[in-house]
Amino acid sequence: MSHVNSDETHRNLLSRIPHCTGREIADWLRAVDEGPALSRFEEKVSWLRGEHGLAYGHAKAIVHEYDLRRAARKLG
């Protein structure tokens, strides 16, 4: 089972998160970075949902974006 939405769906979810949560994407990415050292995708999603009350789709989009940016930093 894939954890990844299409690029368009991912971008759409990210664009709605600030309106739905009242926090910018950068704030959420920082929360994941500073949160508990969880290694699995679904663990991070569950943590965001439980700790911050996020909807599953929003939490999944945030973790996916976090992983994308982290991978880009490693390549750069």
Instruction: Read off the pLDDT of residues 20-70 as tens digits, 9 standing for 90 and up.
Output: 999 999 999 999 999 999 999 999 999 999 999 999 999 999 999 999 999
Short-list 18, 36, 28, CA closest to 65? 28
Tokens 């996020």 correspond to 54
State the amino acid at position 18 in one-letter form: P
13 HSE (CA, 13 A, CB side): 19
Confidence of residue 1 (pLDDT cuts 50, 70, 90): very low
Report the pLDDT value the prediction gives residue 3, as an integer from 0 to 100. Answer: 62
pTM for this entry: 0.89
